[in-house]
Amino acid sequence: QVQLVESGGGLVQTGDSLRLSCAASGRTFTWYNMGWFRQAPGKEREFVAAINWSGGGTNYADSVKGRFTISRDNAKNTVYLQMNSLKPEDTAVYYCAQDSLPQRIVIPTTPRGYMYWGQGTQVTVSS
């Protein structure tokens, strides 16, 4: 059974940094692309960042490029999201997700591409 457990959310001020972690279990971690999504109240879940199964490729939403960095440690079955220069509009519940297919070349950037999801971690950025 696949489990994704996020941690690292919290309440911060504008300009601060946070690092989210997502620990995965249940499938061979190194075979799957991993993604981060977020959902603010009243809004649809949106893509934030993704990293390919080998760690050699990444993709970012325009709204976070240059501020957020996704990485993975395959030895620890963990994916990270380093968030710098946080803004109030980054406030949301952040979810990590695991690709539906193993070793997919094109990294999905929509929720439909991901089969497993974590429970989410709240990030609140005050102005």
How far is C-alpha 72 from the chain's CA centre?
Answer: 10
How much is the average pLDDT of 31-49?
97
Please report the pLDDT score of residue 68 as a whole number. Answer: 98
How much is the average pLDDT of 15-43?
96
Please report the pLDDT score of residue 55 as a whole number. Answer: 80
> Tens digits of per-residue pLDDT, 92-108?
999 999 999 999 999 99
* Strands annotated E in 1-127: 3-7, 10-13, 18-25, 34-39, 46-51, 58-60, 68-73, 78-83, 92-99, 114-117, 121-126
> Tens digits of per-residue pLDDT, 49-70?
999 998 889 999 999 999 999 9
